Structure 1
Amino acid sequence: ATALLLLARRTDLRRISLDTPDFTDIVLPLEDIRHAIAIDFDPLEGYIYWTDDEVRAIRRSFLDGSGSQFVVTAQIAHPDGIAVDWVARNLYWTDTGTDRIEVTRLNGTMRKILISEDLEEPRAIVLDPMVGYMYWTDWGEIPKIERAALDGSDRIVLVNTSLGWPNGLALDYAESKIYWGDAKTDKIEVCNCTCIFYFMKLWNVVALF
């Protein structure tokens, strides 16, 4: 399998090869990308999905930029984090304008609001479909990292201390660890997925976003 890094860089989307010595960087031939925030990939159908804050939409295309289409355009204010459930074939996203976490099928049908209470500035979101959890960051007045079941139930706060602007999230499925970048403290931190063991991984990171 080809190892790739997908990057949303505001006005373009990039596909970066991790298999080549020079890390070949290809800009996808897509139009009208104004403020891309987050990106994710569906390995089964080969679509990439991304949020665009200025267009106020969620879009998708294939890895070569073909097949571009809008997935969600209505009742969306400031779409931010996005995550593909490649098992159940659902798409999750956060909206910092409506302060909601929503889900839809990958084609934009059967849309549902999962969480709409006690959210201030929901940002990144990641999924663990095999276990049945979603994780997200919130960098509101009381910044925190939370977890809930994929249907929005069983919601708990994992981390709510020593946070500034918790931003990007990444899951290590094999080790059951969750990593996040903090754009205020300029740190990358990690804990296990229950956050019983919590420690700083890196610090003094420049320009996290």
Structure 2
Amino acid sequence: MRLVIARCSVDYVGRLSAHLPMADRLILIKADGSVSIHADDRAYKPLNWMTPPCTLEERPVLDDTGEETDSRLWVVENPKGEQLRITIEALHHEHTYELGEDPGLVKDGVEAHLQELLAEHIDTLGEGYRLIRREYPTAIGPVDILCRDESGATVAVEIKRRGGIDGVEQLTRYLELLNRDEVLAPVQGVFAAQQIKPQARTLAEDRGIRCVTLDYDELRGIESDELRLF
């Protein structure tokens, strides 16, 4: 992990264009090749980023006379030719630290069992759904379930025991990454949980993510004792 605190501007060059004006920011360069730019707010969400695989090349910045300036240009490019062009005006701090292999997030027993049961009964999500695989690997972690709906469209499913905003944000990051894969895109999202908080449901639906409430007992083949109106 390489951490750089610098005064910089950032330009994204690709399918769209975006510009971050000059300001002090944190730049993270991870061992997997990803690069992300952060401000001192927005919690963990970066202002802009490039997912792996990508390359980082450092270039000089020239003035009008062709002489090198004190500024440096970092060009981060992916295989599609999209670029993050980071112009560093002042480097305040830089540190590299080897974190080692991470064991990953371990789900609690109920979430792990919900994932297993839903994979076995994938038609719980709708008629014609077909499982691709559980724990589908991505550069930022495994997607709980990847499947296809009746029309053949790819669907990513994030499973929680209690669904909150953090879970929706996690699924959003997976969808952003998966939709860059031309083989899988377009990828839809399903947020599945035993309980989904109202704020999480509102955020998910605003982002086009379908919410599904899971009945643990029904998935296990046990009839619920609760009286139901529908």
Q: Relative contact order (alpha carbons < 8 A, sep ≥ 6): 1 or 2 greater? A: 2
TM > 0.5: no
- Pairwise TM-score range, normalised by the shorter structure: under 0.3
Structure number having the greater helix percentage: 2
Greater strand proportion: 1
